[in-house]
Structure 1
Amino acid sequence: MSTILVVDDDQTVREVVTTYLTRAGLDVVEADDGPAALAAAADHEPALVVLDLTLPGLDGLEVFRRLRAARGDLPVVMLTARGDESDRVLGLEIGADDYVTKPFSSRELVLRIQSILRRAAADHATPEAGPLVDGDLRVDRRRHEAWLGDEPLPLTSREFDLLAHFLSHPGQAFSRQELMRQVWGWEYGDESTVTVHVRRLREKVEADPGHPVRLQTVWGVGYRWDGAS
């Protein structure tokens, strides 16, 4: 049974989320502030964290950074009352797997969590054989490692999945909706999630992210991997 760490200083929110996740067959551990969240993550090694941004003791962003520093592939869904575009994008910019704004549908939250867990399980259970190579860029799916030249690429789990998907389909244009479905495993969701992850990926694999060579924008469609020139 997968363990989910739910971090929120609002007891009612924790109870509601815990109830729905438990009904879905998931084990839940709760924390009400930042230090408690870090301690619980160390003790229970959760499969995913639901993390509120506004926490006492240590804010959610700092908790997120420390969680990812300790375990880079830990999926995190950010949960917050903040509805501003800048806050949502910030969560995605620093590498969160998803972002849900309060008030939220508990059923939708559970579906998103299940989707992330299924994707993670599939990636670990059936890694595709053989590395993916494009010029000086190399992706090893079995080891879940990526290299640019002699330097390892510090990719989040979702950035790695996105890069591997593009390298597996060179020259093929994908809409954001297709990428959302094929990489994220979501039938619906905020497509700006894809936009932010593409931008972050360009910053890591392009010599000049403002004038990308490998990961091209196809206007009116989405994105296409053209490879190194």
Structure 2
Amino acid sequence: MGSKRILIIEDEAKIARVIKLELEYEGYGVETAADGAKGLEKAKTEGWDLILLDIMLPCLNGIEVLRRLRSEDQTTPIILLTARDTVPDKVTGLDQGANDYITKPFEIEELLARIRACIRTNSAWRTAEEDPPLSIADLKVDEKTRLVTRQGRAIELTPREFDLLVYLLRNKNQVLNREQMITRVWGFDYHGDTNVVDVYVRYLRKKIDYGFDFPLIHTVRGVGYCMREPRNED
């Protein structure tokens, strides 16, 4: 792996130079842009591990640069640099998708710590993101976005239905009894009737099985339920 790449979008040349030197000393690959328009172009056409973005920029202000970047790139960490320690700036920036902010003047050690934290968090998130979506036959479930599709058709589920589906999928081809499903989906402290499982399985079947070529949720009499592709008619 090469060094992490950081883009500094900052119009004050002296500040940009100091940050660039400090980051290069820490082993980062660093480039700079002196206005919002050039920074936005550079941010969109090259890959970066983190972007330092000043709010007060010529041509295009930092909040607008942030908004446009986030419309296309939801993952690259962005730390805002602002000379104005005001709540509206911070709130607007965070609402538009900034990961963090730091107010000028700042200690370089604090900036370095925030950069390390953002990159570390993003790396962990990317690793989790690389986990493949859960799937069986023509059903696909993306746990991060909570998107469920079958034959490419989006299916709306309640939070409990979604959790139940994920548990069944994670244990596909295994027969699960009601007690197991209660414990994992409703929690250890659930003291209601285990028939709630049958009710929610029925809800799920209406949404992911009815109207499709074959069922995925199968009843195992006297035991519970199993999610699998049909080998033969039950």
Give the deviation of 1:123 after TM superposition: 2.5
Change (3 A) 1:84 1:16: same
Give the deviation of 1:23 after TM superposition: 1.5
Q: TM-score, normalised by structure 2?
A: 0.55
Which residue identity lines up with residue 20 of structure 2 in the other structure? T
Task: Report what 1:102 is aligned to.
Answer: 104
Q: What SS does the aligned partner of 1:4 have?
A: strand
Instruction: Count matched residues.
Output: 146
Task: Report what 1:8 is aligned to.
Answer: 10
When the two chains are superposed, the root-mean-square deviation of aligned CA atoms in Å is 2.8
Structure 2 unpaired stretches of 5+ = 135-140, 157-185, 188-234
Q: What SS does the aligned partner of 1:83 have?
A: coil
Give the deviation of 1:44 after TM superposition: 2.3
What is the aligned counterpart of 1:40 among 36, 39, 42?
A: 42
Measure, in 2, the Cα distance between the counterparts of 1:108 and 1:151.
45
Task: Report what 1:74 is aligned to.
Answer: 76
Percent identity over paired residues: 36
Measure, in 2, the Cα distance between the counterparts of 1:126 and 1:65.
25
Which residue identity lines up with residue 84 of structure 2 in the other structure? R
Which residue identity lines up with residue 41 of structure 2 in the other structure? A
Structure 1 unpaired stretches of 5+ = 133-137, 153-169, 172-229
Give the deviation of 1:131 after TM superposition: 7.4
Measure, in 2, the Cα distance between the counterparts of 1:68 and 1:151.
26
Task: Report what 2:143 is aligned to.
Answer: 140
Contact persistence 1:29–1:40 (CA under 8 A): no
Change (3 A) 1:69 1:18: same
Which structure: larger Rg?
Answer: 2
Change (3 A) 1:18 1:139: same
Deviations 1:168-223 (A, max 9, x none): xx99xxxxxxxxxxxxxxxxxxxxxxxxxxxxxxxxxxxxxxxxxxxxxxxxxxxx
Contact persistence 1:78–1:96 (CA under 8 A): yes
Q: What SS does the aligned partner of 2:6 have?
A: strand
Q: TM-score, normalised by structure 1?
A: 0.57
Measure, in 2, the Cα distance between the counterparts of 1:42 and 1:127.
21
